[in-house]
């Protein structure tokens, strides 16, 4: 299985030489950079404890005292980081960037969408192979509908966003997300496989149309472009990690709820328990899409009224 990952090596080498050839080469003037040591320590501690809590919690359970202690440690470090950044001349992350509501809402909605995306990565392969008893080859082909439709819809979404704005396109994309989530909440093994393919295909369309990068970077001031890109990347990584943890926890909590006792593996003798757990998990995923929808609705309302106010002043 490890051999599969070697395909990334030539791709990485090709990407490096293409970037070196096409990207402009600008001379960087030497400058004395002051490193925010305390900010870096609290930031690194916050991120480290958060990810340890997420992945360890999947193994020993999020109700374990060690995980609860890590949650409190993460919150304490986060508060410490905010206090440090607000009282230093050269902060690691200038928190004024979050004063821009368009940027902040874009970050949170992106994190929610990436969280929901990892529900599919975690749950659907089990449903296809263990519940529907499809081969891994067939399951892989069905799952390919997401990236294929993603590739097709992404440039179309980008083209439309150039005319009506990334926030509006992302807002409409969230309505498309509702279709697959409702199918995932309702689908049963007796249903035609076409329903699952439709759900995955529409999810790929919505995911490609969701303009997370333009929505975030377009709302960051020029002096914040570098850190904005880093925060955008962090929000995606956090979304993926939270999605993996939430999907696993909610799935097996739902299965355990249906069975009446704690289960942490696929219930081979009771596939209906798994289906119940899957529906249970996707109800939460649906809720996150609705939350992102409300966030972007609020953002569009805020931007609309800000434009009206600016016109009145002019």
pLDDT tens-digit map of 18-46: 887 787 776 665 566 677 889 889 989 99
The whole-number pLDDT of residue 32 equals: 66
Q: Taking 80 as the threshold, does the pLDDT of residue 48 lie above it?
A: yes
HEC states along the chain?
Answer: CHHHHHHHHHHHHHHHHHHHHHCCCCCCCCCCCCCCHHHHHHHHHHHHHHHHHHHHHHHHCCCCHHHHHHHHHHHHHHHHHHHHHCCCCCCCCCHHHHHCHHHHHHHHHHHHHHHHHHHHHHHHHHHHHHHCCCCHHHHHHHHCHHHHHHHHHHHHHHHHHHHHCHHHHHHHHHHHHHHHHHHHHHCCCCCCHHHHHHHHHHHHHHHHHCCHHHHHHCCCCHHHHHHHHHHHHHHHHHHHHHHHHHHHHHHHHHHHHHHCCCCCCCCCCCHHHHHHHHHHHHHHHHHHHHHHHHHHHHHHHHHHHHHHHHHHHC
pLDDT tens-digit map of 243-277: 988 898 899 989 999 999 888 889 989 999 999 99
Report pTM: 0.84
Average pLDDT over residues 277-295: 95
Highest mean pLDDT among 105-109, 272-276, 307-311: 272-276
pLDDT tens-digit map of 170-204: 999 999 999 999 999 999 999 999 999 999 999 99
């Amino acid at each position: 299985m490890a051999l599969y990952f070697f395909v990334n090596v030539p791709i990485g080498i090709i990407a490096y030489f293409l970037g070196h050839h096409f990207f402009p080469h600008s001379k960087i003037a030497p400058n004395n950079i002051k490193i925010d040591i305390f900010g870096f320590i609290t930031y690194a501690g916050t991120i480290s404890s958060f990810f340890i809590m997420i992945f360890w919690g999947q193994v020993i359970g999020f109700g374990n005292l060690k995980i609860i202690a890590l949650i409190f440690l993460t919150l304490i470090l986060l508060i410490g980081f905010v206090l440090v950044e607000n009282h230093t001349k050269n902060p690691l992350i200038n928190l004024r960037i979050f004063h821009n509501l368009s940027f902040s809402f874009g970050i949170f909605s992106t994190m929610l969408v990436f969280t929901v995306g990892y529900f599919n990565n975690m749950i659907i392969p089990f449903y296809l192979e263990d519940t529907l008893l499809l081969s891994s080859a067939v399951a892989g082909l069905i799952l390919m509908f997401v990236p294929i439709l993603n590739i097709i819809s992404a440039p179309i979404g980008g083209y439309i966003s150039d005319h009506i704005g990334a926030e509006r396109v992302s807002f409409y994309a969230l309505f498309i997300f509702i279709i697959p989530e409702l199918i995932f909440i309702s689908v049963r093994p007796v249903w035609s496989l076409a329903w699952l393919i439709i759900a995955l295909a529409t999810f790929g369309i919505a995911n490609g149309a969701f303009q997370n990068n333009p929505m975030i970077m377009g709302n960051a001031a020029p002096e914040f472009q570098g850190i904005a890109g880093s925060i955008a990347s962090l929000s995606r990584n956090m979304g993926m990690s939270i999605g993996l943890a939430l999907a696993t926890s909610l799935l097996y909590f739902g299965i355990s709820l249906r069975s009446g006792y704690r289960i942490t593996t696929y219930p081979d003798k009771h596939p209906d328990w798994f289906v119940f757990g899957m529906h249970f998990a996707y109800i939460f995923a649906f809720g996150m899409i609705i939350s992102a929808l409300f966030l972007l609705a609020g953002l569009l309302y805020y931007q609309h009224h800000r434009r009206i106010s600016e016109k009145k002043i002019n």
